Amino acid sequence: MEWLEASTENCPVQRTLDVVGEKWMLLILRDTANGVRRFDDFRRHMGLSEAVLSDRLRKLTAVGILRTVPYQEQGSRVRNEYRLTRKGWDLWPVLVALRQWGESYAPDPEGPVLDMRHADCGAEVRVVVECVQDHTALAPKDVHAQPGPGARRRA
């Protein structure tokens, strides 16, 4: 089957974007991956309205990308913190890939805005597409992509 004959309905890129393909969702995940956990911190940091932020946090929790953990500060009511689940952390390569493109094509003149380094050796990190066998970093021309067993013919 050729790519053009395959239905896009169950395309894995499309299915991911159906869940997190909205800018604020990805930006909330960016903040969460950088340690932000509390509603007011998200709101102030991102300049989001309470309504939009509540809605996105609720959706991300409902699909199991974030989980809530209750906390209580003295004199306050119990509130929820938001943390990435394993399913949420598995979106980390998406975020790092978006960052990498932004640092390349919309850079700040002062240098990297978010510095990411290997904790062990201090070297920079990058996203690569690699072969699972020999771990070679691959360019698009090194990869054959074609509809797999789950592909359906377009109606």
CA gap 89, 8 in Å, rounded: 26
Cα–Cα distance measured from residue 50 to residue 60, given in angstroms and rounded to the nearest whole number: 15
User: Within positions 103 to 122, which residues make up the interface with its own copies, using CB under 8 A?
Assistant: 103-121
Which of helix, strand or coil describes residue 91?
Answer: coil
Nearer to its own copies by C-beta: 73 or 108? 108
Look up residue 100 and give its two tokens.
Answer: 């990498």
- DSSP secondary-structure letter at 8? S
CB of 86 to its own copies, least distance (A): 10
Contact in structure between 118 and 96 (CB atoms under 8 Å)? no
In the shown chain, the binding pattern of residues 41 to 80 toward its own copies, with x for contact by CB under 8 A and - for none, equals x--xxxx---------------------------------
CB of 39 to its own copies, least distance (A): 13
36, 51, 76, 153: residue in contact with its own copies (rule CB under 8 A): 36
